[in-house]
């Protein structure tokens, strides 16, 4: 059976899609952020200051790209009591370096699903991609985030929240819940860095969550299209090198790791663990007609994880791939 690539083999570009500068509540200037992330081996950075949209295209170079983006805040409470209330934070990524308008301009940012969805829909109409951020830090539940419509991805890992002591290092159960409610969205790992500590401090909130984007070249158009197409994965460390379907199996190739898991839109799951053998560099799992969506995750020796998005039959691959595979 013909091979179907779900995650292209690259080239991959390392991205932090959530960061803050001195233009909102971050401690570093946009120039310092670009310098630090390029030095650390990243190729893409989105400076997503709170409610402040500004292009930083001029800071880029042939080896480093800045996406034009910002974070829109919706708070249940304001003033001194805001920290005790729920909130919804969305990152909006412009389709072009020079943004085609600011989606929330003239719009209410009241903390209601109606106002939140209105801005999501306006952003999408302007060509923006919208991500849903740090659900646990936001203290939201499924009664909240399952009502938001039109996000292209959600943060399965937010390292800034982890560095602060919150639990947004692994939001995979939130992602699964959203999938079960009919959402079709991907997963991002980000820093959400504010850099209140030096880079060598144990509480530094940079360089702990990243999204690897598979694109033919490092241009704004190519990176944005790859995000639109779902050609990326989220990671806190491990490296995925390719995901494909062939002969009724889903395959993954990765850097050496300890564990590989297949999760499905059913109760079925499969796991391969290193045990006492050599580190794993790949695996394959049979596809079954009752799987619904399929997704993969891997973990390294430090317990850090990487996640693919969910892949759906009919959208991402043809159901003919089940021919010859076992059913359950």
pLDDT in tens, 59-91: 999 999 999 999 999 999 988 888 899 999 999
Give the pLDDT confidence of 202-261 residue by residue, as tens digits.
Answer: 999 999 999 999 999 999 999 999 999 999 999 999 999 999 999 999 999 999 999 999
290-327 burial code (b ≥16 CB/10 A, e <16): ebebbbbbbbbeeebbbbbbbbbbeebbeeebbeebee
Residue 328 Cα distances to 245, 296, 322, angstroms: 19, 20, 12
**Token output for 72:** 């829109």
Burial of 288 (0-12, 13-18, 19+ CB in 10 A): middle
Q: What is the pLDDT, as a whole number, of residue 97?
A: 98
Q: Which CATH class is domain 8-235?
A: alpha beta
The CATH fold of domain 240-322: Immunoglobulin-like (2.60.40)
Domain boundaries of the chain, sorted by first residue: 8-235, 240-322
Distance between CA atoms of residues 94 and 279, nearest Å: 40
* The CA-based dihedral angle spanning residues 33, 70, 156, 202, taken in that order and rounded to the nearest 10 degrees: 30
Question: Count of CB atoms within 10 A of residue 92's CB?
Answer: 26
Helix residue ranges, H only, 146-274: 159-163, 172-180, 220-229
Contacts of 80-85 with C-beta under 8 Å, sequence gap 24+, read: 85/111, 85/139
Q: How many CB atoms lie under 10 A from the CB of residue 187?
A: 26
Tens of pLDDT, residue by residue over 33-42, are: 999 999 999 9
Res. 324: pLDDT tops 70: no
* Site of tokens 């990524």: 93
Give residue 150's pLDDT band: very low, low, confident or very high (50, 70, 90).
very high
Cis peptide before 11 (omega within 30 of 0): yes
Q: Which two tokens mark 285? A: 């799992």
pLDDT score, position 328: 42
| Angle of CA points 51, 170, 78, to nearest 5° | 30
Q: Across the chain, what does the average pLDDT equal?
A: 96
């Amino acid at each position: 059976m013909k091979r179907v690539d779900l995650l292209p083999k690259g080239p991959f570009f390392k991205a932090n899609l959530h960061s803050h500068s001195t233009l909102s509540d971050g401690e570093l200037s946009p120039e310092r952020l670009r310098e630090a992330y390029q030095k650390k081996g990243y190729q893409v950075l989105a400076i997503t200051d709170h409610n402040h949209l500004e292009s930083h295209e001029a800071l880029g170079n042939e080896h480093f790209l800045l996406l034009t983006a910002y974070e829109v805040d919706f708070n249940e409470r304001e003033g001194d009591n805001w920290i005790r209330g729920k909130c919804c934070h969305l990152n909006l990524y412009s389709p072009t370096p020079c943004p085609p308008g600011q989606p929330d301009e003239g719009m209410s940012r009241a903390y209601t699903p109606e106002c939140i969805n209105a801005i999501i829909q306006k952003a999408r109409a302007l060509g923006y991609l919208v991500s849903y951020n740090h659900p646990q830090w936001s203290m939201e539940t499924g009664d909240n985030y399952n009502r938001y419509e039109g996000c292209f991805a959600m943060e399965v890992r937010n390292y800034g929240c982890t560095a602060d002591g919150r639990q947004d290092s692994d939001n995979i159960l939130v992602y699964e819940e959203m999938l079960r409610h009919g959402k079709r969205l991907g997963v991002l790992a980000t820093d959400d860095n504010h850099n209140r500590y030096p880079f060598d401090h144990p509480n530094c909130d940079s360089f702990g969550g990243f999204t690897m984007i598979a694109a033919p070249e490092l241009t704004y158009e190519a990176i944005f299209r790859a995000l639109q197409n779902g050609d990326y994965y989220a990671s806190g460390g491990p490296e995925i090198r390719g995901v494909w379907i062939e002969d009724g199996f889903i395959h993954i190739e990765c850097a050496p790791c300890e564990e590989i898991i297949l999760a499905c839109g059913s109760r079925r799951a499969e796991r391969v663990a290193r045990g006492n053998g050599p580190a794993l560099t790949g695996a394959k799992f049979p596809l079954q007609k009752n799987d619904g969506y399929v997704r993969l995750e891997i973990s390294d020796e430090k317990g850090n994880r990487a996640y693919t998005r969910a892949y759906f039959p009919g959208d991402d691959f043809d159901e003919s791939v089940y021919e010859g595979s076992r059913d359950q």
